[in-house]
Amino acid sequence: MAVSDQPAPAMGGGMAAIVTGGVVLLIAGFIALGLLLGLTPLYAGFLLLWYWGSVDMVARKALAPLLIGACGGTATAWLLQYGAVHGGLAGVAPVLGLIVAAIYFQLRGWLPLLINRPYMLYLTVMAAPLLQAGESFAHVMASIALATLYFGGIVTLGQIIAARRAAA
């Protein structure tokens, strides 16, 4: 899907208020669900929502590559942390080689389901030392999966309902 240089058309005031209210409810539901499940790194799920909504324009076909790329980038960031903690420079070097290979793969268009823009985004964010210092990567992965199921499920359900109403 090509990204347009043109900004999205502005909504009228009433529609913008309705959409804003819906987004607030959607986000509140995700926060409540995350807290109920004991997930604190909800930013990882919100990053997924932002990417899917802003870059992919909530296209359902974009959700699987987003999930796989996000998990792959997060896993690579975890490898970077693990290598640094347990092997120092010798532990980091192979992971840096993997990252260089991933950049090459992305530029070549190889393995696009895994090595894609979400992969690079999540690798960049999750490799930040401030996040790595005390983060549970298992909880980050769970937050990404929860966001995919929650936001993807609600948007898909809404699209199905809208299509049925349009057909009636």
pLDDT in tens, 25-54: 999 999 999 999 999 899 999 999 999 999
Q: DSSP labels for 98-114?
A: HHHHHHHHHHHT-STTT
Instruction: Say which residues have a Cβ less than 8 Å from residue 115's Cβ, sequence separation at least 6.
Output: 69, 72, 102, 105, 106
Sign of the C-alpha dihedral computed for residues 29, 32, 36 and 38 taken in this order: positive
Q: From the centroid of its chain, how far is CA 149?
A: 12
What pTM did the predictor assign?
0.89
For residue 38, the model assigns a pLDDT of 94
